[in-house]
Amino acid sequence: MNENTNTIDRLRRMNPALGRASEEIVQQDLARGRAAAAHAHRKQAWAAGGIGGFALAVIVAGGAILPALHTGASLQASTADTPQAHTKPALQLVSYTGTQPDGYHLGKVPAGFTVESSNKDALILAPAGATDLSGEFVDRIVVSQQGGFAYSKDGRQVTINGEPALITLSVDPDPATEVQFTTGGHTVDIQIWPTIKLTDQQIIDFAQSITVTGDLTTSAG
């Protein structure tokens, strides 16, 4: 009990912040909010129809509203981190013929890819013969189950398994094309390292070929 009291006292004495934000910071937050709101309006207009492919290009070009995470840089509207729809695939999807991983059934994989590891946290696909990077995800595809929280609301709307899904570019801490979708009541997250060039249709086909078969835990810290 004394231990608890002491720890609670120490926690309560901590004062993580005092004062007020500077005017410069306030204006930057306002600008980011305005940019996000404008982006949402454009997306709604596109979703309502009648604007067509040009609007899609505008939305994609204006989509980079997330901060450049881990850089500490101020948020700027930029096309640099925007998910790009690949039109010329560098890879083909092929039927997966290897041993099925724990927790998932894979129907298709990018040609030359194999299951590197599979556990309750994540299924990792890597090029056959790839060097073990001990937890790094360079040149890899990571499939995991998520707790249902969508990290980003900005990206390209697609349909996977008859349900709306979003293809985004995550930038934290490494860039990756990411899509979350549902299958059999599970929310699945796929992260694709940017060197792996798949079209949106290939990403959709790959996602739709995945079935959750195991009683895995959701990805959690």
Partner 1 sequence: MRHDREAEFAEFVRTHRPALLGYAMLLSGDSHLAEDLVQIALIRVYRKWDRVRSGTPAAYARRAVATTVIDHSRRPFVGREVGMALLPETAVTDPETALDPELVVALQQLPPRMRAVVVLRYVEDLAVEQVASILGCRAGTVKSQAARGLARLNSILAGSPTAPSFPLIATS
Residues that bind partner 1 (CB under 8 A): 3-4, 7-8, 10-23, 25-27, 29-30, 32-34, 36-37, 40, 65-72, 75, 121-122, 135, 137, 142, 144, 146-147, 149, 151, 170, 172-174, 176, 189, 191, 218-221
Closer to partner 1 at the Cβ: 60 or 124?
124
Closer to partner 1 at the Cβ: 30 or 85?
30
Nearest distance from C-beta of residue 87 to partner 1, angstroms? 26
Closer to partner 1 at the Cβ: 71 or 100?
71
Nearest distance from C-beta of residue 15 to partner 1, angstroms? 5
128 to 96, 110, 122: CA distances (angstroms): 13, 11, 18
Closer to partner 1 at the Cβ: 27 or 92?
27
Q: State yes or no: cis peptide before 173, omega within 30 of 0.
A: yes
Nearest distance from C-beta of residue 50 to partner 1, angstroms? 24
| Cβ pair 76, 59 in contact under 8 A | no
DSSP labels, 150-212: -S-S-SEEEEETTEEEEEEEE-SSS-EEEEEEEETTEEEEEEE-TTS---HHHHHHHHHTEEE
How distant is the alpha carbon of residue 139 from its chain centre? 15
Q: How far apart, in whole angstroms, are the C-alpha atoms of residue 74 and residue 90?
A: 34
Nearest distance from C-beta of residue 53 to partner 1, angstroms? 26
